[in-house]
Amino acid sequence: MIKRILGQSKLEVSALGLGCMGMSFGYGVPADKNKMIELIHSALEMGITFFDTAEAYGPFINEELIGEALAPFKGKVIIATKFGFKSNVEDNNRWSALDSRPEHIREVAEASLKRLKIDAIDLLYQHRVDLNVPIEEVAGTVKDLISEGKVKHFGLSEAGVNTIRKAHAVLPLTAIQSEYSLFWRQPEKELLPTLEELGIGFVPFSPLGKGFLTGKIDENTKFDQSDFRNFVPRFTPEARKANLTLIDLLNKIAVHKKATPAQVALAWLVAQKPWIVPIPGTTKLHRLEENIGALAVEFTVDELQEIDESSSKIIIQGERYPEHLQKLVNR
């Protein structure tokens, strides 16, 4: 497995991580726990060392899963988790509000350490920027947790560049996690140049466009009633049908490269910068193997330019979040 360093942090991880959210949350009924532990162990055997979770996934059950699965491998893996939401016990622990108050960050960190069965969190992200708490205060709290040996590295998720700069001035950021793929290229405008300037790593989530870039989803695909894609504008039947133009392009490249559309999409992402580490998620062993196979797909400079030119002509239809969630990004 190829290794990469996240920014200037010296945090070394596998060139592909494993996003674990979908094992417990977001994409329908949670998968069987024992089967997911087997899948995580298979990922380890294939060289993946970087695992992404959050207290909000479930809530809590995803961290518990990761903690149980990775307990025998302490010191050999990097675990990233997140704080920043407040659960509403009266509403089945649904995440009803943002909460990055210092005391809450500490509560979450302590609880995550127990669920993950670890002594220190390798990478702790603020899940979403909380405008009610100055980012300098958030960074200062995580800095204290680092000095206490409870956290090793600090990151932000879906933060705007001004917030990133303010946080980085207080405590150097190791990584930013945001969506990035051929399905969502907005980070190229401001985020990537800022991260390169500051020496911060980038961890793209949904690098396969929430499954769309696998080429296995079209306007007739039916999702489980609890699958959050039912509420995403980009996944209405009309938007999916329109966006198949991108899949046509991926299929064309995949034939030429003797690869799959998903492998092309991941290989393209890995080729953008040496400090980018995508975290595709899956609950299936054959998809895990397919994703890792993307690291064997290489592009020439001319091929990358051709992909860039061809994909830039495709106008993706539909917002990537419903309106109430859209307000929480790029703050």
pLDDT value, residue 95: 62
Question: Based on C-alpha coordinates, what's the Rg of the chain?
Answer: 19
Q: Is there a catalytic annotation at residue 57? A: yes
pLDDT value, residue 91: 52
Output the CA torsion 10→48→188→139 (10° steps): -50
User: How much is the mean pLDDT over the chain?
Assistant: 96
| Contacts of residue 198, Cβ cutoff 8 Å, sequence gap at least 6 | 7, 164, 165, 168, 173
Distance, CA of 140 to CA of 312 (rounded, Å): 40
Question: Per residue in 197-236, pLDDT tens?
Answer: 999 999 999 999 999 999 999 999 999 999 999 999 999 9
In this prediction, residue 131 has a pLDDT band, given cuts at 50, 70 and 90, of very high
Written as six digits, the tokens of 41 are 């162990």
Question: Per residue in 141-193, pLDDT tens?
Answer: 999 999 999 999 999 999 999 999 999 999 999 999 999 999 999 999 999 99
Domain ranges of the chain: 3-326
Distance, CA of 319 to CA of 191 (rounded, Å): 19
pLDDT value, residue 87: 72
Find out if CATH 3.20.20.100 is the number for domain 3-326. Answer: yes
Catalytic residue among 27, 57, 125, 180: 57
